[in-house]
Every structure is written in C-alpha cells, then in structure tokens.
Amino acid sequence: MEHVMDYCDAADLQQFVATSRLGAVQVREYLQKRICAVAGEYFHDGEILMDILHTCDAVISGSTALHTLLPKLDTPWTPADLDIYVPQSTSTQLLNRIMAEGYSIVTDEQQLQMRYTHSHMHRVVVLSNGERNIDIVVSVTSVALSPIFHFHSTAVMNFVSADTIYCSYPRLTFRHLSLVNASVLYYGGHMDDIVDTMRKYMGRGFEYV
C-alpha cells in the first residue's frame, strides 16, 4: 500500500482516508513517516524536528511543505533547504534547540534589512551544520502562519505542523497551477526576486494563471 501512496498527492490520500478507519490509519502513518524522513535529513532523529514544531508552535512551509503535498515518486525536484516559521514568543527557544543539534547561525536579517515589505516577517535567521541549511522565519505576530499568506504565490501557501498538513489552494496546487499574490506587487515587492521565484516554480512544473 505504501508504494501506491507514493504516487498519490494529498488530495488522493484524503479520499483514501474516507474509505475506512484502516485507510485513515494507513494514510496518517504514511504521512508521518514521510515527514520524519525529511526531518531525518536535517537531524539525527526525525522526531527531534516534530518535537521542536510542537513545543515552539512552529510550522514547516515553503518548498518542503509543497513537496510533502505532492506525490513522492512523481515529483522530480527536491527542496534545497528547510523553512521553519515561528512566532516571536518562542523564536529564541526554537533557535536554541536547533543550535543544540549542531547548527550555527550564518545570517540574521532583521525586518528593516529585508527586501520585502508587508511580509509579516520580523526576522530571518539562516543556520547551517556545514551540510544542510535551515531558514528560520520569525513572524511579526503571535502566530507562525502570518507570513505564509503573504507569499509571492499560492503554490507555496501551505504548511506542515506537528499534527497537521494544510494546503490553502488545493484545486490549483494539485493541478500544478498557481496565482501570483498581487499584494506583493502593491506593497513594495521586488520584481526581480518575484520573477526569479516564479521561474523556479515554473521549472518545477507549475503554471501561473
């Protein structure tokens, strides 16, 4: 059954959940295993990341969340790094937890230094262990999710928490379609950055409509 699920996106898996209690259990275990496998690329034990997300009210977003929503064996690209979003109140705790796992801060960019306005990002910290990078995005609000809904396009308005996988625009995303977030243009977004990012996702099979 796991091999079949490897060809399913999250919408297909959701339909399988509705078939039976056993189906629901199998899908939950499959997704947990898949997320822990991603976490295992950054930590010696994948459960470490899940505990960090739970205790710090943080979520995974960006390419990693999108990749988790898409079929494992039908998605040729892989995320370059791990993006974690966290509220200000638990950001210090989260950074300390990750640095305790062998990561060091490479860059620490405050809101006024960023090239993005109205992004709901307070701070972006990049950490590395010499092999892998983790980007920590600190929200300006009391919830980690605020910056996610200010992303450049709908394709990446998704997140994975300790117990939830969420897709904001499933009818578009699972058809590899995306809309540009017009507010990014209205509120001072840098066109070069936006175009570069759009090209990246077009290279990953997404079409902008």
pLDDT of residue 36: 94
pLDDT of residue 139: 95
SS3 of 152, please? coil
Q: Where are the domains of the chain?
A: 48-208
pLDDT of residue 188: 59
Q: Tokens 């930590």 label which residue? A: 43
pLDDT of residue 23: 94
- How far is Cα 29 from Cα 31, in angstroms, rounded to an integer? 6
pLDDT of residue 185: 65
pLDDT of residue 186: 65
> Six-digit token pair at 162?
């300790």
71: Cβ contacts below 8 Å, ≥ 6 apart: 6, 7, 8, 9, 12
Strand 133-139 relative to strand 121-128, pairing: antiparallel
Please list the alpha-helical segments (H only) found in the chain: 2-5, 10-17, 21-39, 46-56, 62-69, 88-99, 170-173, 182-186, 191-203
pLDDT of residue 111: 60
pLDDT of residue 197: 86
pLDDT of residue 204: 95
Q: What is the DSSP letter of 60?
A: E
Burial (CB < 10 A; 0-12, 13-18, 19+), residue 18, is: exposed
> Residue 164: what are its φ and ψ, rounded to 5°?
-145, 145
List C-alpha distances in Å: 159 to 45, 61, 171, 178.
21, 4, 16, 16
Which CATH superfamily is 48-208 part of? Beta Polymerase, domain 2 (3.30.460.10)
pLDDT of residue 179: 94
pLDDT by position in tens, the chain (length 209) = 899 999 999 999 999 999 999 999 999 999 999 999 999 999 999 999 999 999 999 999 999 999 999 999 989 999 999 999 999 999 999 999 999 999 999 999 886 554 454 578 999 999 999 999 999 999 999 999 999 998 889 999 999 999 999 999 999 999 999 999 887 666 655 677 778 888 999 999 999 99
